[in-house]
Structure formats: structure tokens, C-alpha cells
Amino acid sequence: MNRRANLPDSLGTGRWPSLAAAVPMLVLLALPVVALALASSPAALAAGARHPLFLPALGLTARTTVASLVIVVAAGTPLAWWLAASSGRLARGVEQLVDLPIVLPPAVLGIALLQTFGRNSLLGGPLEALGLQVPFTTAAVVLTQVVVASPFYVQSAAAAFRRVDRDLLIVARTLGRSPAGAFFGVAVPVALPGLVSGAALAWARAIGEFGATLLFAGNLPGRTQTAPLAIYTALESDVQAAVALSLVLAAVAVLLLLGLRALPGGRLGRVVVAVAAGAGRR
Amino acid sequence: MNATWHAAVSLRVGALQLEVRVAGGVRPVALVGPNGSGKTTLLRTIAGAYRPSAGVIAVGDRVLFDSARGIDLPPEERRVGYVPQGYGLFPHLRVLDNVRFGLAGASRRDNGARASALAVLEQLGASHLAERWPETLSGGERQRVALARALVIEPHILLLDEPLAALDAAARRTMRRRLAERLEESAVPALVITHDLHDIVALNADVHVMEEGRIVQRGPADALATHPATEFVAEVFGSPLATSGSRPRHQRPHARRGRPVPPP
């Protein structure tokens, strides 16, 4: 796959000036990463990693983001399939709704979630009557992550499903598969690179979630204090712990990014698809 | 003609209104028509991807669709071998897995399915491709694999959407002959969309001409050449009548609807 448009030379003359214009921005993108990497010695990092906030926060982030990713994929995949197959006004409206959390400021989202699940709110009253309280619990952390991360998965999955040739599905049906069989046997494996990259983006967004979580779930160590919130807290007392946590999150992010780049069409993509196709076959 | 299959359907897909009657025997039927005339839609309708508002589709003694009797078999029960334009090979499966996709219990370890898939590939001279990925195949190889995949379920009818269009001229000549032999050997009725008179002659096909959602003329190729009902038919079948003159309309057999040949 050739990603670059091979422009004729006469059209390519603007290339170097355009790169030069972007240099300040590129420096701004690169410098913080370099600074973070240089900020600490191994010994200080090890000390930071022993900080009491460190492990519980990382563990909570791992548990909550895996839970929210499972929910996002389980609910988002059928939604994406429906969006890919529909073109009506309803589908366009739903698409806008799905995109909403991307443009809403996290703080606004946190307030909105409080207004939904908080005391004497839309759902809070009925839930309280059942003895359930959502705000300032681990469940609130997961809910927030689901809301902020789902657009990334649903949009990517819908785009991937749209690229699946309709004829492939008709062929699968004529070869004896039920609608569900054609979906899992053909649509999902063919769209899989798009589904996986969407899931990776959604996961990254969930790991980084901060503002809405702080407002809706609070910052309670062990219950709602995820890694970004622990960084925020540690910064007040122990900068090294904050840097150590930041480096771990940065490493996860870089790995996700590299994985994403390797995925579509590449060897890794082929492997993922082959494994999934093998697992999908009964 | 001894019809072994027939379809008479009305349906609307987007802006296109289809009102079609087609029928065929063991001899292949070639479906000819300009782009957008509804040929692919008709194939997909017979395959069960679209539901007609009214009509009947029957293959052999099986009724696949009958609006009056409320019969509408899903595609997986129709026993049709559908080969779409571009062949529609599953990109995530190797050739052998593509071919045995339609066989029950198509697991990697099912030796029966593996053997039947290999046998069909062998008949089409494509067994050496079994472990290849579709993206590495040439157009002619893809066509054979797609045909094998459609034949492996022992279909009662083959629906081929421009099976030769994607090939270069040399491959086209070879594949045209092989396809004709293959269809004759298998004795499976076939409905083949094509734009090429050579395909029609090689397949010894009965022609149905479709324009704007309707069949405007049917018959053997030579009859269409001598008595074209529309400009399009005259162009495709290279009729001298189109340029040298035209018979009065009532003398043209099978003429139904469509733009008449302009008078000289």
C-alpha cells in the first residue's frame, strides 16, 4: 500500500517551505517527550515507582480501562455495523450523538454525568432507591471512560464496516451462512484492522481520561484514583513519583501508537486477522 | 425452450424500477445491457439479497420466491452459486479456505471438506493455488477460485456477474473457452452478465437484453443481430440493419420496449 501521493516535481516544489513552516509545531510536539525522558535518573524512577500512590493507581487504571474497553467494543460493534448499513436521517443523528463526547469539554461532561447519576438527579433518585450510588465509585470511573472513549471506537469501526464489499456478504449468505454467520465469518475479519485500531484509540483515550473522572468520580485512592489523577496528586508532594507514573503511561501510549502503525495491511495485521479467523471458525 | 429456471419479478431499488421476466434451460443465458440497466440487481435478487415486491423465482422444481404464496427462501437455502463482479474472494482467507467456506463444518481439520474443496479446485486446474492468499492471484486465477467456491456447494444455478471483464485480452480468450467447457460439463444452468459478443458466442448462450429495468429482447445472438429491437442491441450485435436500414417494427420478433431503431 502506497500512502504517499506521488506528486510530479512541478507540484512538489512547495514541500520544503511547508515543512519549514511546521518546524515550531514539531519542536513543540517532540520537546516534552524528550524532556520527560531526560527528567529522571533510574534510581529516582525506582524510588518513584515505590511511592504508595503508584501501584494502586496503575492497577485501577488497568482494571477500569479493560472493563470500559470491553463495554465499548460489545456495545459499539453492533452500533457501528448499524451505522455502516444505514444512511437515513436517524443514522446521521445517531452519528452526531456518538461524536458529541469528542467535542464536549471533559469538565462539562463530568457535570453532565453528575446531573444524570448524582443525588436527586435524572437517574440518581431511582438508583438510590435501589441502594445504588454511582458517583465517586469505581463504576463512575468506568462509565466516564465508556462515554469519552466510545466515539473513537464506533467511528473507526463504522468506517471499517463501510469498506467491506457488500458482495462479500451476499456471497457468504449464498454459501450457507446466516446473517450472523456472515457478520462474524466475513464482515468482522475483513474489518478487523479497523476495529482493532479503533479499540486501541479508545483504550488510549480511556487511559488518559482525567477531567470528567475528577468531577464525576472524584480522586479517592484505590477506588477512583486512576493513573492520571495519581500524577496530579503526586505532583503536589513527590515530583519523582509523578514523573515515574508519567513515563509508564507514555510508554504504554508509544507502544499503542507503534502497534497501530504496524497494524493495517502489515504483517501484524495479517497475523491478527488470521488468528481471529481461526478462532471464529467453529 | 425447456426452461429449468425462471424469474418474473417486480422490485424497486433506489431510482431503478425492475420489471423482469427471464427464463433459461441448461444452456447458459447471457444477460446483456447498458450500465445501470439493473443486471446486477437482478442477479442479487435471484440470490436473495433483495426482496421483490411481487413475482416468482423458481429453479428446477424448487420455488425460491413466490409473493403470492408467501415463499421467500433466505440466500443460504437457495443453492445459488453467486460470483460477483471482481469475484468477491474473501481477502482474509487462503484460497482453500475460500473454497470450503460454503461446506458444512469447514474447520481446518475437517478432511472431508478439505478433500471436496481440493477436488473442485483440481477440476478447474487451480489446486496448486490452494495455500495462496487472494491478493497474490492474477485475474484469471481469481476467477477460477471464485467459480470453484460457487460450485463446491453444488448449486442449482450459477449467477456470474461479468466473469471475464476483469481479464486482459489474452487471459480472456483462454478463460472464455474454459468457462464454456466448465459450464457445459457441470450442466448447471447459468445466468451470465457480459458485454462481449465473443463471450456469448463461446458460451453458446441464449441472450436476454435488459434496458432500464426491463427485458427488451431475447433470443439467440444471430437472431438479435438480424432483428435488433433497440439501438443498444444493434450496437452490441453489430447489425448491419442499424446503419443500412430498418424493418418495420412489427416485423421484429420479441420486440417489447425500449428505444426503437431510428429510421434511416
B159-172 pLDDT, tens digit each? 999 999 888 888 88
Distance CA B31, CA B206 (A): 9
Instruction: Flag whether A17 is in a domain.
Output: no
User: Exposure of B133 by Cβ count < 10 A (0-12 exposed, 13-18 middle, 19+ buried)?
Assistant: middle
Q: What pLDDT was estimated at residue A146?
A: 97
Instruction: Flag whether A124 is in a domain.
Output: yes
Distance CA A177, CA A78 (A): 18
Contact B153 A192 (CB under 8 A): no
**What mean pLDDT do residues A154-180 have?**
96
Instruction: Flag whether A44 is in a domain.
Output: no
Residue A282 near chain B (CB below 8 Å): yes
Work out how many domains chain A is built from and give that number. Answer: 1
B128-142 pLDDT, tens digit each? 999 999 999 999 999
Q: Which residue has the cell 486501541?
A: A200
Is this complex's ipTM strictly greater than 0.85?
yes
Instruction: List chain B residues with CB under 8 Å of A192.
Output: 92
Instruction: Flag whether A43 is in a domain.
Output: no
Instruction: Flag whether A31 is in a domain.
Output: no
Domain that holds residue B136: 5-251
Instruction: Flag whether A156 is in a domain.
Output: yes
Instruction: Flag whether B264 is in a domain.
Output: no
Mean pLDDT of chain A: 87
Contact call for residues A176 and B78 (beta carbons, < 8 A): no
Instruction: Flag whether A21 is in a domain.
Output: no
Instruction: Flag whether B81 is in a domain.
Output: yes
Give residue A187's pLDDT band: very low, low, confident or very high (50, 70, 90): very high
Query: What is the nearest CA distance from B110 to chain A, expressed in angstroms?
Result: 11
Instruction: List chain A residues with CB under 8 Å of B59.
Output: none
Q: What pLDDT was estimated at residue B252?
A: 43
Nearest to B82 among A171, A181, A274 (CB): A171
Q: What pLDDT was estimated at residue A250?
A: 86
Looking up residue B60, the CATH number of its domain turns out to be 3.40.50.300
Distance CA B78, CA B157 (A): 9
Residue A160 near chain B (CB below 8 Å): no
Looking up residue A136, the CATH number of its domain turns out to be 1.10.3720.10
Contact A168 B86 (CB under 8 A): no
Distance CA A80, CA A94 (A): 10
- Encode chain B (264 residues) as per-residue pLDDT tens digits: 467 999 999 999 988 999 999 999 989 999 999 999 999 999 999 999 999 999 999 999 999 999 999 999 999 999 999 999 999 999 999 999 999 999 875 555 677 888 999 999 998 889 999 999 999 999 999 999 999 999 999 999 999 999 998 888 888 888 899 899 988 888 899 999 998 888 999 999 999 999 999 999 999 988 888 888 898 998 888 755 433 344 444 444 444 444 444 444
Q: Which of A171, A184, A275 has the highest number of chain B CBs within 10 A, making it the mutation to test binding with B?
A: A171
Residue A174 near chain B (CB below 8 Å): yes
Instruction: Flag whether B256 is in a domain.
Output: no
Instruction: Flag whether B119 is in a domain.
Output: yes
Instruction: Flag whether B58 is in a domain.
Output: yes
Instruction: Flag whether A268 is in a domain.
Output: yes
Work out how many domains chain B is built from and give that number. Answer: 1
Nearest to B88 among A171, A176, A282 (CB): A171
Nearest to B8 by CA among B77, B78, B64: B64
